[in-house]
């Protein structure tokens, strides 16, 4: 039986796309649902392109009901992937899927994590601090922003003169390269 992946995203969904591409031909796992809190999110179009069902939810539905959890349970989801999802996971979701929710953060945690640290905010802070390297962190999700156990980190050098766009691009290259493989590795561990 294939392992079942659900992806949460709030925006464009470039990482969601790479994950959908990666598992499209997999004999071991498949993306069964894409969820978003943003009805305008481009990730909905990406899901549609792969003929993967999607679900849009409200803040009320996510935090004050068990509708999203019920949907995930009905689909027998094995792992939840946060790919550019901007809301904190509620305790009810964490309890329903212990050690089965992972997130990608566009910096080397524990630095540059926490509330408000996402997307360009992270890269701007890294450049403002004059860091010589940055990278990505894939980690388990817990009740705090960006504080769960680290699963994987990859680094890149920040060259003098690198712009925000260049730093973002270098990070995205690592995200697209490693995120699907790390998910695959975790699913293999679940099987054994």
Q: Which residues make up each annotated binding site?
A: 13-15, 103
CA end-to-end distance (rounded Å), the chain: 13
Please report which helix (H) or strand (E) contains residue 67, including its range: helix 67-74
Is 105 a residue of the active site? yes
Q: Determine which one of 55, 105, 123, 178 is catalytic.
A: 105
DSSP 15-58: HHHHHHHHHHT-SSEEEEEEEES-TT-THHHHHHHTT--EEE--
Element (H, E) at 135: strand 133-140
Residues marked as binding for (6R)-10-formyltetrahydrofolate?
A: 103
Say if residue 41 is preceded by a cis peptide, omega within 30 of 0.
Answer: no
CB 48 within 8 A of CB 31: no
Catalytic residues: 105
């Amino acid at each position: 039986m294939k392992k079942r992946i659900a992806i949460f995203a709030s925006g464009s969904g470039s990482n969601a796309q790479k994950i959908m591409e990666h598992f499209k031909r997999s004999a071991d796992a498949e993306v069964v649902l894409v969820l978003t809190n943003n009805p305008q999110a481009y990730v909905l179009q990406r899901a549609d392109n792969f003929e993967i069902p999607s679900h849009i939810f409200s803040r009320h539905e996510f935090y004050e009901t068990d509708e999203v959890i019920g949907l995930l349970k009905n689909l027998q989801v094995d792992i939840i992937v946060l790919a550019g999802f901007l809301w904190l996971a509620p305790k009810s979701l964490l309890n329903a899927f212990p050690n089965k929710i992972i997130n990608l953060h566009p910096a080397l945690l524990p630095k540059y994590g926490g509330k408000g640290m996402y997307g360009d905010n992270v890269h701007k802070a890294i450049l403002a601090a004059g860091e010589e390297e940055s990278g990505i962190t894939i980690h388990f999700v817990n009740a705090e922003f960006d504080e769960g156990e680290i699963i994987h980190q990859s680094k890149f050098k920040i060259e003098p003169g690198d712009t925000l766009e260049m730093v973002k691009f270098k990070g995205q290259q690592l995200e697209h390269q490693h995120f699907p493989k790390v998910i695959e590795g975790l699913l293999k561990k679940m099987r054994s």
